[in-house]
Structure 1
Amino acid sequence: MSAIRFFHMADLHLDSPFKGLFGLPEQNFKKIRTSTFEAFDKIIQKAIQEKPDFLLIVGDIYDGENRSLQAQRRFQEAMEKLFQHNIPVILSYGNHDHLNGAWTRFALPSNVYELPAETSVVQLNIRGQQVNIYGFSYSDRHITKSMIDSYPVAQDQHVIHIGMLHGSEAGDTSHAVYAPFTKDQLLEKNYHYWALGHIHKRQFLHQNPPIVYPGNIQSRHRKEQGIKGFYDVTLSQTSTDLEFVPTSAVVYNTVEVDCTNVFHANELLKKCEEALMLNRGEFGASVVELHLKNIDEQSQSLFEHATVDAWLETIREAEDGIEPMCWVQKLVLHQASILYEHTAATESVMNLMEEWNISEWKDILKELYQHAGGARLIEPLTEQDIKNLMHDAQELLAEEIQRA
């Protein structure tokens, strides 16, 4: 039997509002605001050019249950283009765009198979090879129960079986836990490929058969760093080939600058400019956190008479108008450890702290850990926490000595 080829994507989040970005020039904000559409357009263009057998979209096509008119119009137009090129699309809706949301509906063309709330199968015949694709759409925003038992076990091994599931691996708390499953439960279904969605980090849970999260197609905030995209999959009953295809219109990234032996402001600005230029060359349009590393006593003087906000504004001004855009969202200073000689007083304090056991530390910190508002936000005190507190106390003592 011949191999089939499909694109596996998830978590498009079309028309994401991109909250938390402030002070951007209008053209930069527009670039970021439309980045989900630009990333999606790249997929449609590639599909039209290369004509895979079908596309799988595994949940969260839209960012919200109201499904904005603009996002629906852009999606419907894209589906019409694929219809004109006879490319089927099998899609499910996830927790963000569940079926019970309130929105003005657009009719999708006949090449689009929208999976219902009940686990169902879509059957395709591709050059004589039957393909069964199983999945469901979220009926409501919160599906916390496992849905895996509703998927049938594959019986006919002359058929290629593919599972679509927008959900979380049991025990993974990196996202809200929806439709949880275990890897063993997926493997028990005897499918040739599991197309997952919901987790925005690209990852393989299993190699053979592949159990795959493609991640989202465009980062939406600073915690979703790196290049995003989808998988171009060639699949037969005996082999699988996956190629990751980047789609990010704007890449969120962390850029580091070494401040060792930097004494003058223009030196630091030059280093920042060079680091951002390298990032621009590698990733294109970007939103970055700029981390100034190894700030020693010499480079520390640069921040004594100018605030971090003033430095951030100066760096942004230097980048203004350079294309592709590289917006510095945040500036983070990393001060090198301060070396100092203990005085008799500091030695006494440190020796006393080293003698405290965990019960004594709990007694000392009881006002914090027993506070009704604060206690819910902090984890129980551990031995490592105590070591960290002692290290922080030592640095504070060092700073007080230098000020004295």
Structure 2
Amino acid sequence: MIRFLHTADLHLDSPFKGITDMPISRLTELRESTFAAYENLIQYAEKSVPDFVLIAGDIYDGEDRSLRAQMRFVKGLERLQQAGIPVFMSYGNHDHLGGKWTRFQLPGNVTVFGPEVETAELTVRGQRVRIHGFSYKERHIKEAMIGHYPNSARDSGIVDIGMLHGSIAGEESHAVYAPFTREALLEKGYHYWALGHIHKRQVLHNEPPIVYPGNLQGRHRNERGVKGFYEVELEGNEASLKFVPTSVLVFDEIEIDCTEMSHANEWLTACQNAATEVMERTGACILSVRNIKMSPEASHLFSGSSNEEWLEVLRESADRGIWFSGLQFEENKKSALLPDSPLVRSVKEQIDSWDDEDWKQALQDVYQHARSGPYLSALTAEMKKELSDEAGKLISNELST
């Protein structure tokens, strides 16, 4: 059996752009969080002493990596060297080899993959292990680098592990670099694929594992939930994965049901209770609040003060360890007050008076479209009512902006 740690996307010294309204002490904690998460990784490795550590790209947040970030990273690697732990790493699109920086010499336990796909080899208790990977020579690697990886040597009893900082071809949630398909990875016959680049933790395939560990520390509200790395055990064709959390601050969102909300203290209590549940589960957190199912009473309640004032009061009532970053509403809170405005009523009455010919005239561009037309069903009375209601909502929203 071999045991290793798989991490990626450390983004050390991330600037956390756009977050400026925190108290200095909380903002300092946030800006130190990527280093604190990295420290959690190093401490775990020192205690558990894995056979090796894989770091699959984006160690730093930018190509002009700071001296501070490099120094902190190297000190962690030196501690792993003292513990006798080899490290295999690659640079990704954020910290590519073409960047300009003052280089620190890395300790002797570290193997860095170059701009072409390379293979490093080590022996773990008599078991030969080959690790394949590459570093980005520049920020934008559009080539499907998977074609340069060698095929597995399974017949010879060697364990093959691939490291790849990239994304699935056609994936639109993240910039697509070094694109690949699951099928292309599986064709290589490797025992494990250690991926990086996508900050959401996910296992793309189980046997063999194709894994994104996500980043070590969330950096904004779109990187929600607990972050960390994987501890992996391989024995023959069997794999066992254990997720190890490292994030010191967790970004998340709470939803507040405003169906029967009519008083400010009711809303504050609901927010506090929901936030406490998150903190008990994840630790210190930065939360956005989404208010859903807005009743007329709730809309009237929130219309009395600005979002900034509601947020300020919410922050003052928060427990230590909780920071509220913003408020959102399921629909424009002002528009809920305008469903019966004269203009909306007039438009809806006009639409409701249409006969079949009027509807055909209004929708002729849609139904006569060469691509969409053949697939559209006949317009029913229910569909007409839905369209009328939607038109009213659109006008209400425009009036409220």
Structure 2 length-normalised TM = 0.87
Query: Which residue of 2 is the match for residue 124 of structure 1?
Result: 122
Point out 4+ residue stretches in structure 1 off by more than 4 angstroms.
Answer: 335-345, 350-355, 386-391, 396-401
Query: Which residue of 1 is the match for residue 24 of structure 2?
Result: 26
Q: Is the 8 A contact 2:153 2:160 kept in 1?
A: no
Question: Please, which moves more after superposition, 88-97 or 196-205?
Answer: 196-205
Q: Is the 8 A contact 1:58 1:94 kept in 2?
A: yes
1:294/1:100 Cα in 2 relative to 1: closer, same or farther (>3 Å)?
same
1:116/1:268 Cα in 2 relative to 1: closer, same or farther (>3 Å)?
same
Query: Which residue of 1 is the match for residue 350 of structure 2?
Result: 348
1:399/1:86 Cα in 2 relative to 1: closer, same or farther (>3 Å)?
closer
Which one-letter code corresponds to 2:363 in the other structure?
A: N
Which one-letter code corresponds to 2:72 in the other structure?
A: R
Gaps of 5+ in 2: 369-374, 377-382
Does 1:329 pair with 2:325? yes
Separation in 2, partners of 1:274, 1:222: 20
Query: Which residue of 1 is the match for residue 273 of structure 2?
Result: 274
Shift of 1:301: 2.1
1:54-101: CA deviation from partner (whole Å, max 9, x where unpaired):
000000000001111111011000001001010000000001111111
SS at match of 2:330: strand
Which one-letter code corresponds to 1:100 in the other structure?
A: G
Separation in 1, partners of 2:24, 2:135: 37
SS at match of 2:174: coil
Shift of 1:179: 0.8
1:118-163: CA deviation from partner (whole Å, max 9, x where unpaired):
1111111111111000001111111111111211112353110000
Separation in 1, partners of 2:230, 2:141: 26
Query: Which residue of 2 is the match for residue 261 of structure 1?
Result: 260
Q: Is the 8 A contact 1:35 1:248 kept in 2?
A: yes
Query: Which residue of 2 is the match for residue 140 of structure 1?
Result: 138
1:347/1:74 Cα in 2 relative to 1: closer, same or farther (>3 Å)?
same
1:41/1:344 Cα in 2 relative to 1: closer, same or farther (>3 Å)?
closer
Separation in 2, partners of 1:107, 1:77: 11
Question: Please, which moves more after superposition, 15-24 or 264-273?
Answer: 264-273
Which one-letter code corresponds to 2:302 in the other structure?
A: F
Query: Which residue of 2 is the match for residue 366 of structure 1?
Result: none
Separation in 2, partners of 1:285, 1:142: 35
Separation in 2, partners of 1:44, 1:266: 44
Shift of 1:224: 1.1
- The alignment of Structure 1 onto Structure 2 pairs a total of residues equal to 377
Q: Is the 8 A contact 2:12 2:35 kept in 1?
A: yes
SS at match of 1:295: coil
Shift of 1:30: 1.0
Shift of 1:392: 3.7
1:23/1:343 Cα in 2 relative to 1: closer, same or farther (>3 Å)?
closer
Separation in 1, partners of 2:154, 2:106: 31
1:86/1:344 Cα in 2 relative to 1: closer, same or farther (>3 Å)?
closer
Q: Is the 8 A contact 2:93 2:140 kept in 1?
A: yes
Separation in 1, partners of 2:60, 2:260: 49
Query: Which residue of 2 is the match for residue 233 of structure 1?
Result: 232
1:309-331: CA deviation from partner (whole Å, max 9, x where unpaired):
21111111222xx322x221110
Q: How high is the sequence identity, in percent, across the aligned residues?
A: 47
Matches within 5 A, 1:182-201: 182-201=181-200
Which one-letter code corresponds to 1:17 in the other structure?
A: P
Which one-letter code corresponds to 2:17 in the other structure?
A: K
Separation in 2, partners of 1:258, 1:162: 47
Does 1:359 pair with 2:365? yes
Q: Is the 8 A contact 1:160 1:236 kept in 2?
A: no
Q: Is the 8 A contact 1:259 1:294 kept in 2?
A: yes
Query: Which residue of 2 is the match for residue 243 of structure 1?
Result: 242
Question: Please, which moves more after superposition, 8-17 or 388-397?
Answer: 388-397
Question: Please, which moves more after superposition, 82-91 or 21-30?
Answer: 21-30
Shift of 1:300: 2.1
Which one-letter code corresponds to 2:33 in the other structure?
A: S
Query: Which residue of 2 is the match for residue 79 of structure 1?
Result: 77
Gaps of 5+ in 1: 363-381
Does 1:13 pair with 2:4? no
Which one-letter code corresponds to 2:245 in the other structure?
A: P
1:95/1:399 Cα in 2 relative to 1: closer, same or farther (>3 Å)?
closer
1:350/1:68 Cα in 2 relative to 1: closer, same or farther (>3 Å)?
farther
Separation in 2, partners of 1:389, 1:70: 58
Q: Is the 8 A contact 2:168 2:182 kept in 1?
A: yes
Separation in 2, partners of 1:227, 1:111: 29
1:351/1:166 Cα in 2 relative to 1: closer, same or farther (>3 Å)?
farther
Shift of 1:354: 4.8
Separation in 2, partners of 1:155, 1:344: 74
Separation in 1, partners of 2:346, 2:35: 64
1:20/1:361 Cα in 2 relative to 1: closer, same or farther (>3 Å)?
farther
Which one-letter code corresponds to 2:45 in the other structure?
A: A
Query: Which residue of 2 is the match for residue 92 of structure 1?
Result: 90
Query: Which residue of 1 is the match for residue 107 of structure 2?
Result: 109
1:397/1:153 Cα in 2 relative to 1: closer, same or farther (>3 Å)?
closer
Which one-letter code corresponds to 1:241 in the other structure?
A: S
Query: Which residue of 1 is the match for residue 63 of structure 2?
Result: 65
Structure 1 length-normalised TM = 0.86
SS at match of 1:205: strand
1:4/1:297 Cα in 2 relative to 1: closer, same or farther (>3 Å)?
same
Separation in 2, partners of 1:41, 1:289: 27
Q: Is the 8 A contact 2:154 2:189 kept in 1?
A: no
Query: Which residue of 2 is the match for residue 296 of structure 1?
Result: 295
Separation in 1, partners of 2:345, 2:87: 72
